[in-house]
Amino acid sequence: MMQVGQKLRDKMASGVVLGSFVMEFRTPAVPIVLAHAGMDFFLVDTEHGWYNPETVRAMMDVGGREGICPIVRVPTTHRSEITHALDSGAGGLLFPVIRTMDHVREAVEASKYAPLGRRGMHMLRPHTNFLPPTDKPAYCAEANASLLTILQIETVDALGQVEAIAATDGVDMLYIGPTDLSADMGHHGGLDHPETMAAAARIAKACAAAGKPAGCHVERPDQIAAALEMGFSMIGYAGALRLLMSGAKTFCDEALETIAAAGK
């Protein structure tokens, strides 16, 4: 399962990756559809979405099979929640609402194997395809290098120390949550607000200085262009539910126009 995480890393090193957030949908068919649409990753949101470990496990499995990198947004740095996601085969973890450097260190410790972190060791699990490695030190080093430990910058506290966060060993990339960050900054403008755009530029610059990729969540194509110009190489495009709503509206509008044209 490490291959999909490394594949995403490799593509970001020379280009841009596109993906979407998954909430509400509990069928593994959704990652397959996103993969067929051309997306590089999908993110199962267990912070805002209602998912049990079995469902997450099934979606991680299909992601690995389809070659689309599965990422899980975990609501906390609680060890058992992170272990469930990692042992299920997640290629990356997104940690939301970062506020302090202690929180940063907790995320690294929970997601990386020793000596970098303190991730639990159990090798007869889906993340090894139930084939325990014979060389555990080599496996742990490879897993640490391929797994994406992503910290979400969506608070003023995190923004104020974003350079130190980006430079932390074991932090692989930063991801801006523009909606929450803009609210925490005292407005609700998202990426359309100048202050949020300035914050996004600072985050991208901090990642570039640390030699790490930066991710940005967008809702419209014009926001993608702005994110690319600032240097973001991971684009989280809306969410699967929003994509369904948009597609359904387009299909229904076309159907209703055909019906009206027929005078019915």
Q: Which residues are catalytic?
A: 48
Structure tokens belonging to residue 54: 């079995």
Peptide bond into 133 cis (omega under 30): no
Give the number of other CB atoms < 10 A from CB of residue 76.
17
Residues 155, 198: Cα–Cα separation, whole Å: 14
Give first-to-last CA distance, the chain, whole Å.
Answer: 53
Single-letter amino acid code for the residue at 157: D
Query: Which of 153, 151, 149, 163 has the alpha carbon at shortest distance from 200?
Result: 153
89 neighbors 61 (Cβ within 8 angstroms): yes
Phi and psi torsions of 168, nearest 5°:
-70, 130
Q: Which helix (H) or strand (E) is 239 found in, with range? A: strand 234-239
